[in-house]
Chains A and B, each alone.
Chain A
Amino acid sequence: MANIRLENVSKRFGRVTALQSVNLEIHHGEFFCVLGPPGAGKTTLLRLIVGLEKPDEGTIYIDGDPVNDVHPRDRDIAMIFQNLALYPDKTVFDNIAFPLRERKMAAEEIRARVAQVARMLHIEHLLERKPGKLSGGERQRVAIARALVRTPRAYLMDEPLANLDALLRLEMRIELKRLQEQLNETLVYVTSDQVEAMSMADRIAVLYKGVVQQCDTPDNVYNLPANRRVATIVGSPPMNFLTCQVQRMDGQLHLVHSGFGFQVVGSDHPLWDCLCRALPAVREVLVGVRPEDIRLYPERPTEVIAFPARVAVSEPLGAETIVDVQLGRDIIKVITPPTQYFAEKQEVWVAFDMAKVHVMDAQTGERIYTTGAPEQLQCILPGTCA
């Protein structure tokens, strides 16, 4: 039952800045994911919330109370560590009972609650065993049980599925999601796996180098990434970026790539405004297109405008095939259905889904604009622009 708020929180370790002015509000009952590559400061964020580290600047509030100076045990927040931190010398029962014993609960009550939690997580038969004798998935459940048993105000999880194999991870992912829906408690989940974040979270905070890049719903993070980092972190394979020159000619605005280009249609368009305002400074932009928003044609298509390109490598994955295509000077990755076959070095035609094109500042990587409809930005063929 908690609402966690971080205000301008910074944390440094020696000369290394782990977190830089983080502002976050995690609402009650929310499945909140913190997504970022290793070393982004995700774990530090959790440790700050739970109280194992103190922020150098800023304040952390739990339910409106500042907790910077509150000892971790008085914060009543459960944390599941990446290595699970099960006590290896204690039985599963004693592991789960530990938080209750620390709260001086009666032995009867402890037994009843542990039994209940064990039943809920299907680990009743393991209670007398030591953690070393359990499988990865079972250990995972014990760690969750230890957190659940004391009904804390919030749950923090640090890459809890990172050490499981692929199939088990899939299974645990679904269980976790359902568990959270059932508990309806605040859950902060740290992961470096974008699939986990996308599939489970109500909201995602994308963290990179200690800075929150974007904090939004999975849909928005995926479809309207705030900057180049977010677009790279979310989505697999990551978004393709094409470096384009911004050129203004004859009242026309062109984004020119090595070998092809885009034309901004209509001067009443917001993108036009954005680019024109920034034009003297911004000479280059990145045009970002996700691999699934690109189509490949073996022949020149007539219905859409397509650019000639060459296949470098194709990687069949069964359900889909990822094709690396040499387009101008860039190599872009394209997801194609497995029914389409492209040989290496084959000439192909590339067409973009113009409704899902992102334009980003080449210097800062910040998103300038995302097209919502194909009319806003149109492809033009090489030769038609300078």
Chain B
Amino acid sequence: MDSNVAIPAVQEEQVKPAARLRRRRFLDMSDVRFFTISLTAPAQYVLLFIIMFPLLAEVYISLTAWTPTRGGDWTQAYRFWDWGRNYVEVFRDLAFWQALGRTFLIAGVAVSLEFLLGLGIAFLFLDEFPGKRVFYALMLVPMMIVPAVAGYVFWLFFQSNGPLNAIISLLIGQPFTLTWLANDVTAMIAVIVAEVWEWTPLMFLIMLSGLVGLPEDQMRAATMLGATFWQKFRYLMLPMLKPIIIIALVIRGMEAVKIFDMVYLMTQGGPAQATETISIYMYKIAFQQVRWSYAAAAAMTILVIMTILASYALRPLQAPQREVA
């Protein structure tokens, strides 16, 4: 260092003196605790207002027999107080439980298929090959397509005179005119296909990032020890991917249970109730039958069920939050 150059001390008039040590006063803005609170306060307030408030309103209404058609503001619902008869009704309502079961069926089948497909496709994209970037981008497009539009596209796709039947006709060499969406079983298949189509890319992305993130040296170490590809897959990749797989399944499961847009645009829950998921069921109760307090009770029941499920599902998610990736 150049010993000839010395830095002059900062003159008092050049700079606001920081040397004067300030003590903390009541509600000092610079206190870290105050800072922390003010960072999270807006979020907490909004959460309370837009989540807690409606939630309470929902509990409140679900305990009455109020609906908009009976007149009066929702705040006046206490005039129709009926001590939770709605909940008894929900428990007796077969359609409710059927819709719930159907939702889990769709979610279960779709998510399993998405996982297997996603993992398989991820292996295809693991190494570099010419044109990979283009194929990769094309692979991602479905998950970015607005679900409502996707619902419409698949509605087109499964029409009796749509492209799917045309392709099948070409393959079997004679006209094939199945009205997919008018048949109980095929409508369900159509809904699941649409769901798988939209969300396999996400599963593919997650699995690919998991595979890419696998520690290279551990794979090399296994190679050096003479392990074959299947041995590496069985003993190293699967166990190491486990946390990521769990997270992917949990998150996709969570989202799949909420399915509404696509089904609504493809089948509106039909034919009859064949593809009626829990969201569509509630939509129908609230807006076609206009039974709001009953819908609120159903919503509360679902909330409780979902919360319990979610709490179990979220547990693996909580712990590996920091370890994964």
Chain A residues in contact with chain B, CB under 8 A? 62, 65, 67, 69-71, 73-76, 100, 103-106, 109, 113, 116-117, 119-122, 148-151, 153, 175, 178-179, 182
Contacts and interface: CB of A to CB of B under 8 A. Distances in A.
Contacts of A104: 15-16
Given A69-B23, A71-B30, A151-B10, A116 B18 contact: no
A182 B3 contact: yes
Interface string B19-48: 111111000001100000000000000000
A144 to B, nearest CB: 9
A271 to B, nearest CB: 48
Contacts of B15: 100, 103-105
B7 A70 contact: no
Contact of B1 (A62, A76, A109, A175): A175
B289 interface: no
Interface residues of B, number: 21
A150 B10 CA distance: 7
Contact of B22 (A74, A149, A175): A74
Contacts of A62: 21
A65 B21 contact: yes
A28 to B, nearest CB: 14
B16 A103 contact: yes
Nearest to A176: B1
B219 to A, nearest CB: 28
Contacts of A182: 1, 3, 6
10 contacts: A71-B24, A74-B22, A105-B14, A117-B7, A119-B2, A120-B5, A122-B2, A151-B8, A151-B9, A182-B1
Interface in B249-267: none
Given A70-B24, A106-B14, 18 more contacts: A62-B21, A65-B21, A69-B23, A71-B22, A71-B24, A73-B18, A74-B20, A103-B15, A103-B18, A105-B14, A113-B7, A117-B7, A121-B1, A122-B1, A122-B2, A149-B7, A153-B19, A178-B3
Contacts of A119: 2, 5
B1 A120 contact: yes
A109 B8 CA distance: 12
**Which of B5, B6, B18, B23 is most buried by chain A, counting CB atoms within 10 A of its CB?**
B18
Contacts of B7: 113, 116-117, 120, 148-149, 151
Contacts of B10: 150-151
A318 B14 CA distance: 55
B36 to A, nearest CB: 14
A119 B4 CA distance: 10
**Which of A69, A117, A178 is most buried by chain B, counting CB atoms within 10 A of its CB?**
A69
A106 B3 CA distance: 27
Nearest to B5: A120
B23 to A, nearest CB: 5
B1 A178 contact: yes
A263 B21 CA distance: 59
Given A113-B7, A117-B7, A151-B9, A70 B21 contact: yes
Contacts of B16: 103-104
B252 to A, nearest CB: 35
A106 B10 CA distance: 12
A150 to B, nearest CB: 7
Nearest to B30: A71
Contacts of A153: 19
Contacts of B30: 71, 73
A150 B30 CA distance: 22
Interface in B110-160: none
A135 B30 CA distance: 36
A76 B18 contact: yes
A149 B10 CA distance: 9
B10 to A, nearest CB: 5
A207 to B, nearest CB: 26
Contacts of A116: 5, 7-8
Nearest to A181: B3
B2 to A, nearest CB: 6
Contacts of A69: 23-24
Q: Which 10 A-B pairs have the closest CB atoms?
A: A69-B24, A120-B5, A103-B15, A71-B30, A76-B18, A70-B21, A74-B22, A151-B9, A151-B10, A105-B15
Nearest to B3: A182
Contacts of A105: 14-15
A120 B19 contact: no
Contacts of A178: 1, 3
Contacts of B6: 120, 182
Contacts of A113: 7
A148 B2 CA distance: 14
Contacts of A121: 1
**Which of B3, B14, B21 is most buried by chain A, counting CB atoms within 10 A of its CB?**
B21
A367 B305 CA distance: 66
A65 B23 CA distance: 11
A120 B6 CA distance: 7
A61 to B, nearest CB: 11
B14 A67 contact: no
Contacts of A65: 21
A105 to B, nearest CB: 5
Contacts of A106: 14
A188 to B, nearest CB: 18
A113 B5 CA distance: 11
A345 B10 CA distance: 66
A190 to B, nearest CB: 21
A271 B169 CA distance: 105
Contacts of B23: 69-70
B6 to A, nearest CB: 7
A179 B18 contact: no
Contacts of A122: 1-2
Contacts of B24: 69-71
**Which of A71, A106, A113, A182 is most buried by chain B, counting CB atoms within 10 A of its CB?**
A71
A116 B8 CA distance: 9
A105 B17 CA distance: 11
Contacts of B14: 105-106, 109
